[in-house]
Amino acid sequence: MSLITVTSPHATRSGNHTGAFMRQVVYATIPGIVVMTWLFGWGTLFNLMIAIPAALLAEAAVLKARGYNVRFALRDWSAVVTAVLLALAIPPTSPWWLIVIGIIAAIVVAKQLYGGLGMNPFNPAMVGYVVLLISFPLEMTRWIGPHEAPSWFDSFRMVLASANVDAFTGATPLDSFRTWAGNAEQLQALPILHGEFASLGWEWVNIAFLIGGLYLLARKIISWHIPVAMLAGMALIALPFWLFDDARYASPLFHLFSGAAMFGAFFIATDPVSAATSRYGRLIYGALIGVLVWIIRSHGGYPDAVAFAVLLMNLAAPTIDYYTQPRTYGHHRAKRGATR
Partner 1 sequence: MTDYRKITLDGLWNNNPATVQILGLCPLLAVSGTVVNAMGLGLATMMVLAGSNLAVSLIRHFVTPAVRLPAFVMIIAALVTVIEMLMQAFTFELYEILGIFIPLIVTNCAVLGRADAFASKNPPLPAMLDGLMMGAGFLAVLLLLGGMREALGLGTLFSNMSLLFGPMADSWEIVLIPEYRGFLLAILPPGAFIGLGLIIAGKNVIDKRLKDAAKRREAAEPKTSRRVRTTGTVA
Distance between CA atoms of 56 and 233, rounded to whole angstroms? 36
Interface with partner 1 (CB under 8 A), residue from 20, 26, 131, 181: 131
Nearest to 269 by CA among 253, 251, 284, 254: 284
Interface with partner 1 (CB under 8 A), residue from 136, 156, 302, 322: 136
- Give the nearest distance from C-beta 197 to partner 1 in angstroms: 38
DSSP state of 33: H
Helices (H), the chain: 17-28, 30-40, 43-65, 70-74, 78-89, 96-104, 124-135, 137-140, 152-160, 173-180, 184-189, 191-194, 201-218, 225-244, 252-256, 261-263, 279-299, 306-323
Residue placing its CB nearer to partner 1 in the complex, 108 or 253: 108
**Which one of the spans 29-37, 130-138, 178-186, 234-242 is the region binding partner 1 (CB under 8 A)?**
130-138
Residue placing its CB nearer to partner 1 in the complex, 145 or 300: 300
Distance between CA atoms of 76 and 107, rounded to whole angstroms? 14
Interface with partner 1 (CB under 8 A), residue from 34, 134, 198, 243: 134
Cα-Cα-Cα-Cα dihedral of 234, 239, 242, 248, to 10°?
Answer: -20
Residue placing its CB nearer to partner 1 in the complex, 52 or 127: 127
- Give the nearest distance from C-beta 93 to partner 1 in angstroms: 16
Count interface residues toward partner 1 (CB under 8 A). Answer: 6
Exposure string over 168-183, b if 16+ CB within 10 A, otherwise e: bbebbbbbbbbebbee
**Which one of the spans 59-67, 134-142, 171-179, 208-216 is the region binding partner 1 (CB under 8 A)?**
134-142
Distance between CA atoms of 181 and 175, rounded to whole angstroms? 10
Answer yes or no whether residue 100 interacts with partner 1 by CB under 8 A.
Answer: no
Residue placing its CB nearer to partner 1 in the complex, 3 or 138: 138
- Give the nearest distance from C-beta 317 to partner 1 in angstroms: 20
Answer yes or no whether residue 109 interacts with partner 1 by CB under 8 A.
Answer: yes
Residues that bind partner 1 (CB under 8 A): 109, 131, 134-137
